[in-house]
Chains A and B, each alone.
Chain A
């Protein structure tokens, strides 16, 4: 296993084009996913790829890796035209893509996870100690020494640590090109910093970096050039210094989105949810209130216990001590079904794993929590179900050919709207949203913010967990900050700043 010795990268000078895709077209049946798209990745530069969900970013990435074959257009690597029949070929040519949701083998160590494709290269005997040592060195070299231990089992890793393992898998190979697909969507601010340091390092070493992200401030921190796609077409490529936030948003959505948040604080109504000293395995002595018409944010680093708190509220985890009250009465939810009956809707963090039935239709997914209401004598009324689904497809602007489309074929933003539709159809008193805009493009984000605002105006109590500080600051009337399973502080909208939140989050 000579991971550190491989030299896939021929010497190139900074700024030289390492990889390019020119005039790429790709259709799925009658739907053109990409047409006339070009991108260049240069040595020692970060090229950002931006666009709304459905703009074609993922398709383009999959063409770069050889997952898909372009219908027309040319790929070239180090100046020579090339063609990848399958992902393995792009990897051996020195192109790596960091998956957004990395696959981690649960019952083996971080070290084995990192070197998973290379084990066996040094002979049939697996030398555990040598692999661990190598992993430790690699982690230290790339600045992750204190963040993740080589012995840790895959199943014990947080989302952020899984991401780090995925990145390590790529960098130990010393590739010529690395593409990141929304790498920060599962990371807290602290891990994002570590990641950025790493990316800058890779850039300094002359690697050509592609970077897909929805987060504007990241793009401006990292990117040297920005390529924007819209509806499968190339809008343009600009040097970062020649553009700004508003310009990019206009390029992406074709209109001005200067007003992402238009939250007007209204007088909160009666308290809907009250936690007093709630504790269990995951959270400790948590007290908080959410009133009707109020949007309350929960901020904190990854692993602070925010998602666990929401799952405790809905009855998926047990409340071991303390009380949980709805509308002033103490309640005890034994299962999520109990909390749904009490008027709580919950959109969990992991959309695909915890919310959606991917192989079923948009319609089935929307109706899942209200089947009883739209059926008579247990028979589901197809007409009422269609009416429900069509109604929400229109109201929330879910982009789908029909309500019979399978959810797995929708983009992330539209999938998230399907989850929202499911809970809105239960007409909840309290809505719990865990990272509601993760992996969602700017346009859909603004739409989701508008939905949250409108719900609050109508008197719904909303509790939002988010790792994106601007999002919490823009949305919430009050912000609870969590660290280590405890609430470390609460900030009213007027006093809330990124600095104040971070200070409490690192408590």
Chain B
């Protein structure tokens, strides 16, 4: 390998003189973004906890955990899509379609086939999204906006717009919805496992690296030998499968397959959490840890405001306000030039 004869010794730039303090090391390891989210969570917990002692009880914490599980799953995979520089708006509709089909298949073929069938349908929906984007050269937002409507329509067609099946007596679905392992609800376990899996994928594998690279600069990625189309198809299929899993959990929680209610609007909640967690919509930036912290923050905020008797209309205003505040702070910190449409 070459050793340039003229190379100079690089100037020593000691950004952090001496041994970095515990706090600074903590900051670097966590990322400033995540630390701000933690501080926000601590603040909300303190305020709500001091107002209402019920907040700190174990049953209430379980309520929060199970309430965020479904939107958390979608937020995790949405983060993946956003890091790749794309967006999947159809996840809510896929969840609805999977919810209906899981219940319908369950009625005739039992819980196992019901779950597998629903996940299969999620994979197919994701594959179709990917194909429209890759082969039809359609912008991801437009493509999934179209399938958002189409998948919802299909769910309504096959269910005639009504709730399907009754899973409330099936032990497997009951276990999903209300069971627990080691004292922790199954729903939380599912979120933890999926989030950890995606975190490891992004952080430690070649695939994760390539996803960041594709989102950061797709031309450079192609010239560096990355098969971008394969990544787009793969990520959308994965998103479809996880959205289907969320749909199955909706079925389990409500006791029947729901074509629309329970899943409508979940896509926006997922994007909200990803953005709050620091994912940049233009791609290349974002972490699962950030998204999960954002999901938790949104979850305790909803729960706390309900405990404090805040009108649910005001809750929406508060969540919207929080997102704007978080992103404005992020942008101020990023030091980007403050002109034109921000990225």
Chain A residues at the B interface, C-beta cutoff of 8 Å? 29-31, 67, 231, 257, 314, 316, 335-337, 340-341, 346, 348, 353-360, 364, 367-369, 371-372, 375, 378-380, 391, 395-401, 422, 424, 443, 446-448, 450-451, 454-455, 458
**How many angstroms from the CA of A314 to the CA of B14 in the assembled complex?**
41
Bound form: Cα–Cα A341–B209 in Å:
19
The 3 closest A-B pairs by CB, nearest first: A397-B7, A357-B216, A454-B2
Query: Which of B223-231, B236-244, B262-270 is the interface stretch?
Result: B223-231
Return A250 CB to nearest CB of chain B, in Å.
14
Taking the complex as formed, is B53 at the interface, i.e. its CB lies under 8 A from any CB of chain A? no
Q: Which residue of A is nearest B2, CB measured?
A: A454
B108 close to chain A: CB less than 8 A: no
Q: Which residue of B lies closest to A377 (CB)?
A: B205
Beta-carbon contact of B1 and A450 below 8 Å: no
Known: A337-B226, A359-B285. A368 touches B209 (CB 8 A): yes
- Chain B residues lying within 8 Å of A348, measured Cβ to Cβ, are 223
Q: Is the CB of B11 within 8 A of A231?
A: yes
0/1 per residue, B116-151, Cβ < 8 Å to A? 000000000000000000000000000000000000
Cβ-Cβ contact count across A and B, 8 Å cutoff: 124
Contact of B224 among A257, A368, A378 (CB under 8 A): A368
From A397, A422, A424, B10 is in contact (CB under 8 Å) with A397
Q: What residues on B are CB-neighbors of A346 within 8 Å?
A: 223
Contact B206 A358 (CB under 8 A): no
Quick check: B209 and A424 within 8 Å, CB to CB? Answer: no
Residues of B near any A CB (own CB < 8 A): 1-8, 10-11, 13-15, 17, 204-207, 209-210, 212-213, 216-217, 219-227, 284-285, 337
Give Cα A354 to B4, complex, Å.
Answer: 25
Say yes or no: B6 contacts A354, CB within 8 Å: no
In the bound complex, how far is the Cα of B210 from the Cα of A372, in angstroms?
11
Q: B225 contacts which of A336, A364, A367, A397 (Cβ < 8 Å)? A: A336
CB–CB A450/B5 < 8 A: yes
* Complex: A41 Cα to B227 Cα, angstroms: 51
Contact of A357 among B5, B8, B13, B213 (CB under 8 A): B213
Whether B225 and A360, one on each chain, are in contact in the complex, defined by CB atoms closer than 8 angstroms, is no
CB closest residue in chain B, given A373: B206
Contact A396–B4 (Cβ < 8 Å): yes
Per the bound structure, the CA–CA distance linking A348 and B221 in Å amounts to 12
Residues on B with C-beta less than 8 A from A455 are: 2
Contacts of B205 in A (CB 8 A): 375, 378-380
Cα(A285)–Cα(B333), bound, Å: 53
Q: Which of A341, A372, A399 contacts B206 (CB 8 A)?
A: A372
Q: Point out the residues of chain A lying under 8 angstroms from B6, CB to CB.
A: 257, 443, 446-447, 450
- With both beta carbons as reference points, the residue of chain B lying nearest to A54 in the complex is identified as B11
B2→A451 contact, CB < 8 A? yes
Contact check, A356 vs B15: say whether CB atoms are below 8 A apart: no
A residues less than 8 Å from B1 (CB atoms): 391, 395, 424
Whole-angstrom distance from the CB of B36 to the nearest CB of chain A? 19
CB distance from A139 to the nearest CB of B (A): 27
> In the bound complex, how far is the Cα of B212 from the Cα of A447, in angstroms?
31
Residues of A within 8 A of B226 (CB): 337, 368
Q: Is the CB of A30 within 8 A of B210?
A: no
A360 contacts B223, C-beta separation under 8 Å: no
CB distance B216 to A337 under 8 Å?
Answer: no
A231 / chain B contacts, CB cutoff of 8 Å: 11
Measured CB to CB, the closest approach of chain B to A450, in angstroms, equals: 4
- What B residues does A336 contact at CB under 8 A? 222-225
A337 touches B225 (CB 8 A): yes
Known: A316-B222, A450-B2. A335 touches B227 (CB 8 A): yes
Expressed in whole angstroms, the Cα–Cα distance for A447 and B285 within the complex equals: 33
Task: Give chain A residues whose Cβ lies under 8 Å from the Cβ of B213.
Answer: 357, 360, 364, 368
* C-alpha spacing A239/B285, complex, angstroms: 49
Taking a contact as CB atoms under 8 Å apart, the answer to whether A395 and B3 are in contact is yes
Least Cβ–Cβ distance between B128 and chain A, in angstroms: 24
Shortest CB distance B5–A (Å): 5
A335: B residues at CB distance < 8 A: 222, 225, 227
- Are B210 and A357 touching (Cβ within 8 A)? no
Identify 17 new A-B residue pairs, CB closer than 8 A, beyond the known A335-B225, A364-B209. Answer: A29-B15, A30-B17, A316-B223, A336-B223, A336-B224, A354-B217, A356-B220, A358-B217, A364-B212, A369-B225, A375-B205, A378-B205, A378-B207, A379-B206, A398-B10, A447-B4, A454-B4
